[in-house]
Structure 1
Amino acid sequence: MSTPVILITGAAGGLGSAIAKRFSQSHWRVAATDIDKDNLHGLNAQVPLEFSATADLRSATNCRELIAAALVATGRLDAVVNAAGVWRRGPVQHFSEEDFDLIMGVNLKAAFYMSQAAIPHLKDSRGCIVNIAGSTGQQAHRGSAAYCASKAALVMLSKTLALELAEFGVRVNTVSPGDIATPMLDYQAERYGKGNPNGYKRELLNLYPQGREARFLRPEEVAELVWYLCQPAAEAITGADLAIDFGLSAGK
């Protein structure tokens, strides 16, 4: 049997790179895409990538071309992880159309089009899709309407895909992390921390039930769950939205 292939979007980011490393360690062949050419090149220096390409995945055509190129390079496709994501916040009244379109384009449209293009090949391999949503897709947060909407829609997209593809042996699940210690969280704290990024992060941690013991997730912890969902042992898991958030989404 040929060595399985995983295609990861947002692969040069903090979480995407951790997922790439986890699968590479388990001897999967890794195909990677990201909009950031420099960071993608840096990932290629750490992980032996079978295929890598920069692409704007908000275009259905770009997604089809990316999948086709990855298939030429690897010969098969066993899993797709849609880890690309962007964060913008602000009250609905003042939220810009540009930011709304960016969030929906990267967080939702890209996952839709990538999944759409990958489906025929995943049917051949009886493979799987894992979409990265978040606790913001499970509960509302003031000032984050567009982001919450994109992640909630991603969860429903995953569930619908799971129903449509079950008869073909293709599984689709969502992983919903809490806050992860990545450059994206640093960017969020710098942009919205009003000059006090550490204070912004402390406010986030205050939301967790662990109190003083609260900490942010490590990317490797989320990557481990993604890896498990792509294994034969997870055959019974499809259509699920799996929280990994220290209980943040359990309630208050």
Structure 2
Amino acid sequence: MTEQQKKFPEFYVTAPQPCPYLPGRLERKLFTHLTHDKPPELIDRLLTTGFRRSQNIAYVPYCEGCQACVSVRVVVNEFKSNRSMRRSWVRNSKLAARRTASIPTQEQFKLFRAYIDARHSDGGMADMTMLDYRMMVEDTVIDTFLTEYRQRPDGAPDSEFDSWPLKAVALCDRLSDGISMVYSFYDPDGADSGLGTYMILEHIAFAQRIGLPHVYLGYWIEGSKKMAYKTRFQPQERLGPDRWERVPEDAEEF
């Protein structure tokens, strides 16, 4: 194999299997391996044009006769939170966020298991072990980081951050033009406080601070209630056949 062939991605297609989002449909994925010998610019190009990353695999839906999965990203500098988002922000105002390297911990895994068992016990992650979680976090060839969210006790100094209760974790990639939210999980007892919404809002604010124009939310899937929440973060762009396209904003309560 020549040096040029090593740098050019080889693509594969998975066998059909039941779609986890739309009953009665089959899904296939087009994927390629992300390795250190691939140019960083090429990997970034994949991840900013519709591919998602899972460990060192970049994939995109490749389903026959179905185009329900659409990549979405939030336009950071024009983002406006609505009333319900502002309530989520206030309800979680005692949380403190800290970016860390993509290094897994037993504490994170315990929270991850509680989240999966409570909300996705019948999904593909139901049997994940600490080793599986470690690979999910560590197995990356790009700039990947974690954000830990901890409950700050009244009057506690920042130096005691590691001893505060861990409430949520987000695994993210830093791309050339934005932050890609790869996977997030949180204390299932905090679902009513809008923790999931809060984490997206906090990453939008972080992207604003560091000058990145987009936050990538993965795929919005038409007809899937699980993915409907993504339409709330506006303005947003969706990836069309040729380019990212701005979508009309919903007349939601602001």
Return the TM-score normalized by structure 1: 0.29
More strand by percentage: 2
**Which structure's relative contact order is higher, taking Cα pairs within 8 Å and 6+ residues apart?**
2
Greater CA radius of gyration, 1 or 2? 2
